[in-house]
Structure 1
Amino acid sequence: PEFKELPQESGMASHYLMDAQADMGSPLIGKSIESNGLRNLEGLFLVELVRDGRLISPVSPDEVIEERDHLIFNGDVGKLEQLLKMNGLSLFANKQPSSVQNVMGSNLSEVLIRPDSHLVGKSLKSSGFRAKFDAAVVAIKRDGEAVSGKLGEIELKAGDFLVLAVGADFHSRNNLSNNFVFVSGVEPDHILSDAQGRLAIGGFVAVIALAASGMVELLQGLVLLFALYLLTGCLNRQEVLRRLPVQLWLIITTALLFSKALMSSGVFTLIAHQASEVLMSMPLWAIILSVYVVTWFLTELVTNNAAAALMFPFALGLAGAMNADPMVLVMTVTFAASASFVSPYGYQTNLIVMNAGGYRLQDFVKTGWPVAVVYGLVVVSLVPLVY
């Protein structure tokens, strides 16, 4: 059914949607919306009533509440306590058993669903949200688009904002960074004891000092320091798994291994020599432009890290074949790999704002082309002068 827009004077069109249900034997049952005081809540507006799969909107003040009715409110999630204090009315977040406490006694965290989250396209019930995250969804908001219906049956989209009542095990789950961007209510930083604090700072300073004096390789020192942090409790396994960008490392490592294989097999050297025969007769700016365009094309399709990892050995091989300073082509690759303006798929920030802003692919192409052209001309013009 079509969602009815809120009146402009309510000022709640961009606020959160909350779902409350009339319990069995609730004192609210058999009374009208008006007599139950549901039309006079501060900061909350009753926009819909879901009864036996039917959506009633707008809700008349004379509508009588029946058992198991779902009351859908729109408004300020900070005013949620009014609903929690109503006898016989339960929030969706409190209806299913889990280790999550009552919403009133829980820490509330606001998160945004990432574009690559496995939740996209699923409802809260079908995704097994509570079991996966030890958290219950209290409210939902979608910028640029109204949401309607029972909270547990709304199909989630990338860019949706959720308010979560989190359980004790929530922050130890290692799948949080893959699915959410935290907006507020983030877990406090891990507090170290005095001894751990001295060890953390002293160990870091010692490793830097030893590396600067040449006594220890920096990478080896940092690996040993990392192991020491784990052994002494300065870091724990859950925190490492949660904060380590596993997917990013996997992409970069795969691209580096692929480029290493191409270099070891001589493919890059062969391509570089053949390319140099064609490019030798071309001016320097044309060579830089060619390397820039190929790298830019890759970064619009994959991540900037993967594009740089793939093109870096090619740039080195090409510079060696031409007996030229490699810094010019290396910096061209570096700048070109950061030029993802035309496509939303080359950079996660573009994807995050795509749904929240209601943008389409053609919007990125239309707006990104002028930026990409100006940026490319600046890079191709200044790189040989600066480097």
Structure 2
Amino acid sequence: FVVGSVVLYFTSLLLPNREMVKEPVEEYFVEAKIESSSSLVGKTVEEAGLRNLMDLFLVEIVRGDRLIAPVSHSRVLQAGDKLLFSGNVKKIQVLNQFPGLTLFAQKTGLHTQELTEVVIKQDSTLVGHTLKNTGFRAKFDAAVVAIRRENDQVSGRLGEVSLRAGDILLLSTGEDFASRSNLRKNFFILSGVTPDNMISGWREKLVVFGFIAMIVASVITGKSLFDLSLFLFAALLFTGCISVNEVKRQFPMGIWVIVVSALCLANAMQFVGLDAQVAQFAASTLVGHGPIWILLGVMVMTIGITELLTNNAAAALMFPIAYSLAHGMGIDPFPIIVAVCFGASCSFISPFGYQTNLMVYNTGIYRLQDFAKVGSLITLAFVLVCAIMIPFIYPF
């Protein structure tokens, strides 16, 4: 912590000082359609009063397959035109004062009085697809009011914009939105979602004392915590302390699949003798080198994996390899396994390595090279400290 804080202080001086400039392309991208019954039809942009809106700027007009940009004050509006605005989304309600001007989300029957802000995850099923072909409303019980993409301009119809990881969506949500089990798989929720229900009264006491009773029963009877936790889970489910929907939303299915797959891979390696071959290869290749080089090699490999996958996946995949290498060299495997754990948590080089990185990447107006430049130096310090401290605390 101390070394990392010092290194971060000096490396932060390498970051560019980008001021938050209020430009339309850096703000939310909103679409509104002119209905055939609108009084705006036949008027110019200036006559319709769309030129001098507060904190909203008319960027483009989509007319059929034609994109009109920039939009002049004398451009005549037609029925079916899609008007694309950019600016402060808090002022979006001002568009409702124009009769016959319908927002993109309002076409789905949802209102825009209460909005929810979300960030698209890197592994979301939405990445690379458009709102039009994803069935967004049916999948999430929500409609997109606006899109914001840092350091890049969104153009064209809102429903035909190819979504990217890190895009910030402003959603108009339905009553079933908060209970959907696929939210955490696709989004980071920034604001506006109704929090989970808090339990109270006798149910609260049941949870607390049930957890304590589970631990005491394990100590007294010798039963495994897993078996006893199943009984507690059944009791909480039966008494209404938790619901099936909450279990579906919270259950870490991805982690379970990764860990189980890694364990199966480890068993397969042992069954076919691959772990013994890895150990033999390590013993013959690394002869003459000290255990510290094994620790460094394993840690660097784990860091490379965790930048591409999750920390859980990196640890699960590298564990059998680290264990085999340690046994091949005839050293205590525990320090090497500790190096895997630390390496799996060392995710500083890429903004997509961890969810907090992605949040900072958007709000700080950073670029990939900023993360790579600063993160590489912090990772180097991290590895050096681990290489010194792990053998000191857990000798080979």
Which residue in 2 is equivalent to 1:137? 144
Which residue in 2 is equivalent to 1:16? 28
TM-score under structure 2 length normalisation: 0.82
For residues 187 and 73 of structure 1, what CA distance do their matches in structure 2 show?
A: 29
Matched, 1:179 2:179: no
| 3-state secondary structure, aligned to 1:90 | strand
Which residue in 2 is equivalent to 1:85? 97
Q: From 374, 383, 386, give the equivalent of 1:379.
A: 386
Name the count of aligned residue pairs. 374
4+ residue segments displaced more than 6 Å: 351-356
Question: 1:144-223 to 2 correspondence within 5 Å?
Answer: 144-192=151-199, 194-211=201-218, 216-223=223-230
Question: 1:219-298 to 2 correspondence within 5 Å?
Answer: 219-272=226-279, 275-276=282-283, 279=286, 281-298=288-305
For residues 359 and 27 of structure 2, what CA distance do their matches in structure 1 show?
A: 19
Q: Letter of the aligned partner of 1:144 in structure 2?
A: N
Deviation at 1:326, TM superposition (A): 3.3
Q: Letter of the aligned partner of 1:48 in structure 2?
A: E
For residues 130 and 316 of structure 2, what CA distance do their matches in structure 1 show?
A: 38
Unpaired runs of at least 5, structure 1: 1-7
Deviation at 1:67, TM superposition (A): 0.9
Indicate the larger mover: 334-343 or 138-147.
334-343
For residues 163 and 271 of structure 1, what CA distance do their matches in structure 2 show?
A: 51
| 3-state secondary structure, aligned to 2:164 | coil
| 3-state secondary structure, aligned to 2:208 | helix
Q: From 48, 53, 61, give the equivalent of 2:60.
A: 48
Conserved 8 A contact 1:259-1:309: no
Q: From 23, 36, 57, give the equivalent of 2:69.
A: 57
Q: Letter of the aligned partner of 2:132 in structure 1?
A: K
Q: Letter of the aligned partner of 2:214 in structure 1?
A: V
Distance 1:47 1:18, change over 3 A: same
Distance 1:10 1:38, change over 3 A: farther
Q: CA deviation digits over 1:345-374, x for unaligned, max 9?
A: 7656667777886745x7766555444433
Cα RMSD for the two superposed structures: 3.0
TM-score under structure 1 length normalisation: 0.84
Which residue in 2 is equivalent to 1:102? 111
| 3-state secondary structure, aligned to 1:126 | helix
Conserved 8 A contact 2:33-2:82: yes
| 3-state secondary structure, aligned to 1:125 | helix
Which residue in 2 is equivalent to 1:76? 88
For residues 259 and 344 of structure 1, what CA distance do their matches in structure 2 show?
A: 30
Which residue in 2 is equivalent to 1:5? none
Q: CA deviation digits over 1:28-72, x for unaligned, max 9?
A: 222232232222322222222222222222322332221111111
For residues 149 and 328 of structure 2, what CA distance do their matches in structure 1 show?
A: 54
For residues 45 and 370 of structure 1, what CA distance do their matches in structure 2 show?
A: 42
Q: Letter of the aligned partner of 1:55 in structure 2?
A: L
